[in-house]
Amino acid sequence: MPRKYFGTDGIRGLVGEEPITPNFVMQLGWAAGKVFEKQSPGDAKILIGKDTRISGYMFESALEAGLSAAGVDVRLLGPMPTPAIAYLTRTFHAQAGIVISASHNAYHDNGIKFFAGAGTKLPDEVELEIESYLDMPMTTMASNDLGKVKRIEGARGRYIEFCKSTVPYDLRLKGLKVVLDCANGATYHIAPDVFDELGAEVIPLAVKPDGFNINAECGSTSPKSLQEAVLENKADLGIAFDGDGDRVVMVDHAGKLVDGDELLYVIARDNLEAKRMRGGVVGTLMSNLGLEVALTELGAGFVRANVGDRHVMELLRKEGWSLGGESSGHIICLDKTTTGDGIIAALQVVAAMQNRGVSLREMLQGMEKYPQKLVNVRMQGRCDPLSNAQVCSAVADAESELGQRGRVLLRMSGTEPVVRVMVEGVDGAQVSKLADGVAEVVRAALG
């Protein structure tokens, strides 16, 4: 069945516009509470965490009210990375965890996403059941059956220790200078301590959230300041997270960006050499062709999922593999945790570097990225660009010009009203020309 509100990563939008309003979020809390209360009558407990955007306070209160009205106990975590909420939901034996975040979006957006009790994304049938309650009138339990609310103390320390436990106990980062860009988001009070406690010299960036500066000219989507800081401080590497901490990109000692595809290669290569690789690697339709070629040369399998960590996770489970991710920096290490985690992925890369005593750039030897260009075309409403004859013709012409050594991909974003036009091939100039040309046809066709 089609979902009315839930997208590929929860429910997201502009604050103050439906469905991202206090009334709707309270109804959503109540609806979720009704579903999970049925699973554990009289004993349901749900954790709530958030990133650092200003509207998080409002939506935290709205969720709290809805859940309490449904008779569900609430545990408040405050600002915490999304993957931390997945981990804590599991360790506190809660029925679910709720994250208030719009991930890499600007502060004026927000969203709600859920984790099941095992720290994984909710199954489709549970999301559909929650949606069925959203159309019902909200009721309130009798006063003696209302849910109770408590704030969890020590959650930050628990998660820091968990992150450190995903690398060998004897790993020491002494002598390693690292610039950490926390995007003024949820990792601001977590990531610096993780790397500091492992012995690294940490230079923190974007660790002063004010409710409005999350992802603003910083973090994994805007790594320029990180690149400059790495060069200025003569650091060994830089690490940038997004606002809720489930994405990561890096910068090598020369200031060159290292994206999610390259980080996947480093982790996969290290796992293969250590003989702890479980299966192959799951990428997405957007993954660079160079990753596929490099992994094939290493003897590792590679398959592509639809874009979105939800789809990567589904294919990992289907294949029985443990490593997957996206170019954007969503990296899932199922041998370490249950969801994409920027800090944990970064730690695996740094551990691989330290084990070999080489730089991040040297760890990338063996992988050559193909030139790739992505153009975002904004649109009104939602319509399939490939239903337009002129767009189909432009795509076919571009594919013919690229031949067997490139590809063209058009897809609608799951989080923004944009069509993403991606072209990849051997010749960078040709790729750029074709991407701009197809994007212009899409722009004209969609008005």
Q: Which of 153, 172, 191 is the last residue of a domain?
A: 153
pLDDT at residue number 79:
98
**pLDDT above 90 coverage of the chain, percent:** 90
Instruction: Flag whether 1 is in a domain.
Output: no
According to the model, what pLDDT value does residue 387 have? 83
Looking at the predicted structure, is the pLDDT value of residue 415 above 70?
A: no
Can 222 be counted among the known catalytic residues?
Answer: no
Structural domain for 429, as ranges: 372-445
Residue 6 lies in a domain: no
Q: What is the 3-state secondary structure (H, E, C) of 222-287?
A: CCHHHHHHHHHCCCCEEEEECCCCCEEEEECCCCCEECHHHHHHHHHHHHHHCCCCCCCEEEECCC
Instruction: Say how many C-beta atoms besides its own lie within 10 A of residue 275's C-beta.
Output: 6
State mean pLDDT over 187-196: 98
With residues binned 3-state (H G I as helix, E B as strand, rest as coil), the percentages for the chain, rounded to 5, are: 40, 20, 40
> Pick from 153, 172, 193: which residue ends a domain?
153
Flag whether 3 is in a domain.
no
Q: Is residue 136 part of a domain?
A: yes
Quick one: 95 and 240 in the same domain? no
Alpha-carbon distance of 118 to 441, in angstroms, equals: 45
Can you give the pLDDT at residue 1? 60
- Overall domain count for the chain: 3
SS3 for 330? strand
Q: Is the pLDDT of residue 307 over 80?
A: yes
Domain shared by 133 and 207, yes or no = no
* Overall average pLDDT of the 400-409 stretch: 90
Residues 345 and 404 in one domain: no
Q: Give me 87's structure tokens.
A: 């981990």
Q: CATH code at 210?
A: 3.40.120.10
Q: Is residue 5 part of a domain?
A: no
> What pLDDT does 230 receive?
98
Which is more confident, 444 or 155? 155
Q: Using the predicted structure, report yes or no on whether residue 82 has a pLDDT greater than 80.
A: yes
Evaluate whether 64 touches 76 at the Cβ level (below 8 Å).
yes
Q: How many residues does the chain have?
A: 447
Q: In terms of domains, do 107 and 190 share one?
A: no
The share of the chain scoring above pLDDT 70, in percent, equals 99
Task: Express each pLDDT in 323-341 by its tens digit.
Answer: 999 999 999 999 999 999 9
Same domain, 138 and 271: no
Does 291 score more than 80 pLDDT? Answer: yes
The band of 416, judged by pLDDT with boundaries at 50, 70 and 90, is confident
Whether residues 148 and 181 fall in one domain: no
Measured distance CA(39)–CA(54) in Å, rounded: 33
Looking at the fold, whether 328 and 420 belong to one and the same domain comes out as no
For residue 381, the model assigns a pLDDT of 64
* From 55, 101, 103, 327, active-site residue: 103
Pair 170, 118 in one domain: no
The reply to whether 297 and 232 lie within a common domain is yes
148 burial type by CB count under 10 A (0-12 exposed, 13-18 middle, 19+ buried): exposed
Phi first, then psi: what are they for 157, rounded to 5°?
Answer: -65, -40
Tens digit of pLDDT for each residue in 202-231?
A: 999 999 999 999 999 999 999 999 999 999
Average pLDDT, integer, range 414-435: 90
pLDDT at residue 382 is higher than 70: no
Express each pLDDT in 6-36 by its tens digit.
987 899 999 999 999 999 999 999 999 999 9
Q: Which residues pair with 13 in a beta bridge?
A: 110
Residue that has been written with the tokens 């193909």 in this structure: 370
Q: What is the pLDDT of residues 330-373, one digit of tens each?
A: 999 999 999 999 999 999 999 999 999 999 999 999 999 999 99
Give the three-state DSSP class for 116: strand
User: What tens digit of pLDDT does each residue of 118-144 get?
Assistant: 999 999 999 999 999 999 999 999 999
- The yes-or-no verdict on residue 380 having pLDDT over 80 is no
In the predicted structure, residue 408 carries a pLDDT above the cut 70: yes
- Mean confidence (pLDDT) of the chain: 95
Q: Up-side HSE of residue 47: CA atoms within 13 Å toward CB?
A: 32
Global confidence as pTM: 0.92
Residue 91 predicted with pLDDT over 70: yes
- Boundary residue ending a domain (328, 363, 398): 363
Whether 100 and 120 share a structural domain = yes
Q: Are residues 163 and 149 in the same domain?
A: no
CATH number at residue 438: 3.30.310.50
In this prediction, residue 99 carries a pLDDT of 98
Tens digit of each residue's pLDDT (9 = 90 or more) over 240-275: 999 999 999 999 999 999 999 999 999 999 999 999
Do 200 and 325 fall into the same domain? yes
pLDDT at 388: 87
Domain assignment present for residue 32? The answer is yes
Q: Residue 384 has what pLDDT?
A: 76
